[in-house]
Structure 1
Amino acid sequence: MKALSYFVVILFAVSYTATYAQDVKIGTEITTALKDNTYLSKLNYPKSVIRFYTDNYSGDSWTDSQHGWDQSEIALALLAQADHYGLSLSDYHLESLSFKKLKQWRDFPSEKNQRERVLFDILLTDGLITFINNLHFGKYNPLYNSSRIDSSRTNGFCADEILSVARLQADFQDAILQAQPTIKAYGDFQAYLDRFYAVNKGLPSTAEMAKIILNMERLRWISTQGENYIMVNIPSYMLEFHQGDEVSNFKVVVGKPTTKTPVLESEIEYFSTAPDWRVPSSIFRNEILPEILKDRGYLTDHHYTVYDGSGNEVVVNASTRRKIRNNPTKYSVRQSSGEDNALGAVVFRFQNPHAVYVHDTPQKQFFKRGKRALSHGCIRVENADRLAAMLLSYDDSEYRISELEDAIHSYEKKDFVLNKPLPIIITYLTCLIKEGKPIVYTDIYQFDKSLEDKVNQN
């Protein structure tokens, strides 16, 4: 009996040693394979894969018979359910990856399938890195294409590092999914998809599902990840002020299709009361100049002042009116503050290359309309005084609210600089989840078609 037990121990030790030797050899062959363009040409993120195996590689492959089988199965399951995250199954090498192969190598390790195991391991790594990048940046990000993302850390994010750290975590799947945006609208979409795939009831139409996928992609292009931010959604004509779990809603007027409001991210650094309006040159030439030429009282009635190229005020008479008509680019117009000022009582400033801003308006009647694409590109917000007061509260400056109210009522020029600049996102989402259901908005700028074409190429 003792002899039999001794034989079993020896047999196990020999088997373990042989298997361990094979696993070490897999690691060596992976390193060699990554110098071969035959392997690299199959990858979406070759530089990231090389970094994963050279900078962070622990020596344990996904097909290692001694370590990480649970992680390998979780990894493959994640890729096989990429559509649960609004992503395409065709992007993750699933034609070459299977649970059957994984089980085969676990149960019957052999040197005969070393090359196949090497390819499987590399493709699974690339699939996971692709999945992480697509979760975080999207696939069609207009700012960061796959080549740029693959080259180096992007905005502090590096998928191969995320994957390496995830392999050390107790909850491997959760560590991977942390790459997703934290913005509420995205979380609402993901919660909706989770419910749909778990229960498979209330099947959304094909059109609704297409809108969900498009807009989850757009939300991945947003870099803001904090819990406090303002989001303006152009198609819904709404501004949302997010403070943790609290969301305050404001109606907005956005740009017409001919003068679109741009998609951007910035920070509101300050807002001002009783602002002057420096009229954009295009509006001056196309809208105000014709009125000046036919109505001598137009400038006075609307509190406009004309300036020459040196910033000197111009007295408008018959002679100067002809000069302005003949050379309008040499002149500018400013509207003084007051109840008729186009910017209203408050304007919210943030840096951006488009020179747009959020502002009050004297034309309150437009907020009663359902379709509010009416501006030249800037964003008019309803109850701007309330939004300004909320910004002061967010900034721990409640004591200045009475000062704000006095400045608004008396049309006193005053800047309110925020100690904590607030992120602002101007985005274009043609679908959102409201009260647990997808709501589709009119594609007022016709942006969906080009993105749909890209998505449907898969």
Structure 2
Amino acid sequence: METPNCYLSSLKILWIMVLLLTQNLISIPAQGFQFNVENQLNKAVKEHQLKFPILTQKIYRDRNYQSIWFNINGKTPLIWDAVNLLKAAPQYGLNPTNYHCNQLSINTINNAIQIPINDDVKPIIDVLITDAMLAFTAHLRYGTINPSTPLLAIDKETFKGFKVDSVLEVAIKNPNFKNTILSAQPNYLGYKTLQQQLENLVKNQTGDCVGITDHHIQLFFANMERWRWLSPVKQPYIIINIPAFNLTYYDGITEQNFKVIIGKSNTKTPVLSSKIRFFTTAPDWTVPRSILVKELLPSAIKNNSYMANNNFNIYDKYGNYIPATHNNLLKVRANPSEYTVKQSPGPDNALGQIVFNFDNSYAVYLHDTPNRSFFDKSERALSHGCIRVENPDKLVEFFLKNDQATEILPEVLNAMEKYKRKRVYLKKPIPITVTYLTMEVKNGELQTYKDLYQKDKNLIKALKLN
């Protein structure tokens, strides 16, 4: 018969064994799960299943390959936040097929939550959700086919722009996961109002891989994609929308709208971003070579007084004035690159009373025009590519107010009226964006515009919405 001391010793040994066994039962699945995540991650990368393989690997490496969306206690506080946001992709103008929608179906997630922690299904789902959230965040910010910021460039640890992995890391730790991810969206008022309209239209359309076949909805997607291509800017800023023939000056509180004239279909106004750094009253106009060869010289050669009547002067490559004789005009036609033709300031000058200068590679300007009756037309694709603006004096007023320099406004307006040259450099340059939106919200109403340059069809096709 065992003595009491022996019995107590046996109980102690048994208790210690139970503790050790319990610890093993807890630790073994955890270690196995970490191992499985790494294996499934490596497999997914090798099989090219991931859109953001580099950043996905970085996130798991930094977490020692621990699960993000599952944990050992079976609690899943984040998995549904992530999956529900991915399922809501159409509300943000994004195609759900970009986010592993078949592999991350609602049924698959429900089943995965129920299966053992060390099963291979959980790790691959964990990896796919992480990759999908990185892609979703990047697409919110940059779009899916941004010509200036390809997604391959974003999927690098050395990328200098918006860090989508950092946003995801913050969101994982933040009580408001959804809003942290959605903060990646553009800060333009025009984007926000368009997104709200789209959300109201499609928020009741649920499913794993919802198709985007309605052309009206496709236009939302295409135009929200265009907004995402724009660089973030500080207020105030100018947005010129080509199909709307409209310039918007937004100061953070109110919008001021101006009619504009833009390029014809064969001399398109380019999409660009820059900053207006100065403006010039009573500008002279250097005639672009294409206009010189195709339009000005044929008219001048036919009519000896054309050059004088329209205040055009010829200069050689050294800046010397050349009389506009018939023979000299023929010389210019023979070697147009050797000469420059300028139009002097005045009521007939093509740039009007003022030009707003901004750096760009297209040699386009924002300027006044002597032909102001053109603003009465509903369709104003009439220029050679430059942008003519109605009421430029009002724009000057807003610029000087932003610069806290309204005291010089009378002097500037007088210089405009009397065609006196004056150049004003802005202490606070104004961001200017020329974009192409065939759909936008104005005064609370959804507006659609004629696709002047036939861009929508190709963009919708590239977004794989058909």
Do these two structures clear the TM 0.5 threshold for a shared fold by scoring above it? yes
Change (3 A) 1:457 1:430: closer
- 2: distance between equivalents of 1:269 and 1:131? 36
Per-residue deviation, 1:327: 2.5
Contact kept? 2:400, 2:406, Cα under 8 Å: yes
Name structure 2 gaps, 5 residues minimum: 1-16, 206-211
Change (3 A) 1:205 1:147: closer
Please say which structure displays the higher CA radius of gyration: 2
Q: Which residue of 2 aligns with 1:35?
A: 42
- 2: distance between equivalents of 1:179 and 1:17? 42
Residue 70 of structure 1 aligns with an amino acid whose one-letter code is P
Aligned pair partner of 2:151 in 146, 152, 170? 146
User: Is residue 319 of structure 2 the alignment partner of residue 314 of structure 1?
Assistant: no
Contact kept? 1:186, 1:216, Cα under 8 Å: yes
Per-residue deviation, 1:34: 3.4
Change (3 A) 1:70 1:365: same
Per-residue deviation, 1:288: 0.8
Per-residue deviation, 1:14: 7.4
Residue 269 of structure 2 aligns with an amino acid whose one-letter code is T
Counterparts of residues 67-82 of structure 1 (less than 5 Å): 69-82=76-89
- 1: distance between equivalents of 2:364 and 2:63? 45
Per-residue deviation, 1:106: 4.3
- 2: distance between equivalents of 1:454 and 1:205? 14
Contact kept? 2:37, 2:65, Cα under 8 Å: no
Counterparts of residues 150-229 of structure 1 (less than 5 Å): 150-152=155-157, 154=159, 156-198=161-203, 206-229=214-237
- 1: distance between equivalents of 2:278 and 2:157? 34
Aligned pair partner of 2:96 in 89, 95, 98? 89
Which deviations, in whole Å up to 9, do the C-alpha atoms of 1:326-383 show, x marking residues without a partner? 3233222001111111101111111111111100011000000001000000000000
Name structure 1 gaps, 5 residues minimum: 1-9
Per-residue deviation, 1:70: 2.0
- 2: distance between equivalents of 1:13 and 1:98? 39
Counterparts of residues 20-419 of structure 1 (less than 5 Å): 21-36=28-43, 41-55=48-62, 59-66=66-73, 69-111=76-118, 113=119, 115-152=120-157, 154=159, 156-198=161-203, 206-419=214-427
- 1: distance between equivalents of 2:229 and 2:20? 52
Which deviations, in whole Å up to 9, do the C-alpha atoms of 1:268-302 show, x marking residues without a partner? 11111111101101111111101211111111111
SS in structure 2 at match of 1:186: helix
- 1: distance between equivalents of 2:324 and 2:134? 65
Runs of 4+ in structure 1 displaced over 6 angstroms?
10-17
Per-residue deviation, 1:105: 4.8
Contact kept? 1:63, 1:105, Cα under 8 Å: no
Per-residue deviation, 1:45: 1.1
Contact kept? 2:92, 2:198, Cα under 8 Å: yes
Per-residue deviation, 1:424: 0.6
Q: How large is the Cα RMSD of the aligned pairs?
A: 2.6
Q: Which moved more, 1:352-361 or 1:393-402?
A: 393-402
Residue 333 of structure 1 aligns with an amino acid whose one-letter code is V
Which deviations, in whole Å up to 9, do the C-alpha atoms of 1:221-272 show, x marking residues without a partner? 1112433210000000000001103100000000000000000111111111
Alignment identity in percent?
Answer: 35
- 1: distance between equivalents of 2:201 and 2:44? 41
Per-residue deviation, 1:56: 5.9
Contact kept? 2:74, 2:113, Cα under 8 Å: no
- 1: distance between equivalents of 2:280 and 2:64? 54
- 2: distance between equivalents of 1:270 and 1:454? 38
Residue 49 of structure 1 aligns with an amino acid whose one-letter code is T
Residue 165 of structure 1 aligns with an amino acid whose one-letter code is V
Per-residue deviation, 1:158: 1.7
Per-residue deviation, 1:190: 1.2
Q: TM-score, normalised by structure 2?
A: 0.89
Report how many aligned residue pairs link the two structures: 445
Change (3 A) 1:38 1:175: closer
Contact kept? 2:351, 2:368, Cα under 8 Å: yes
Residue 171 of structure 2 aligns with an amino acid whose one-letter code is A
Per-residue deviation, 1:309: 1.8
Change (3 A) 1:39 1:19: farther
SS in structure 2 at match of 1:167: helix
- 2: distance between equivalents of 1:80 and 1:88? 10
Change (3 A) 1:109 1:270: same
- 2: distance between equivalents of 1:82 and 1:158? 20
- 2: distance between equivalents of 1:105 and 1:173? 22
- 1: distance between equivalents of 2:426 and 2:105? 54
SS in structure 1 at match of 2:37: helix
Contact kept? 2:286, 2:342, Cα under 8 Å: yes
SS in structure 2 at match of 1:456: coil
Change (3 A) 1:27 1:407: farther
Change (3 A) 1:102 1:317: closer
Contact kept? 1:183, 1:226, Cα under 8 Å: no
Q: Which residue of 1 aligns with 2:12?
A: none
- 2: distance between equivalents of 1:387 and 1:353? 24
Contact kept? 1:40, 1:46, Cα under 8 Å: no
SS in structure 1 at match of 2:265: coil
Contact kept? 2:90, 2:202, Cα under 8 Å: no
Q: Which moved more, 1:130-139 or 1:397-406?
A: 397-406
Per-residue deviation, 1:167: 1.0
Per-residue deviation, 1:15: 6.9
Per-residue deviation, 1:317: 2.1
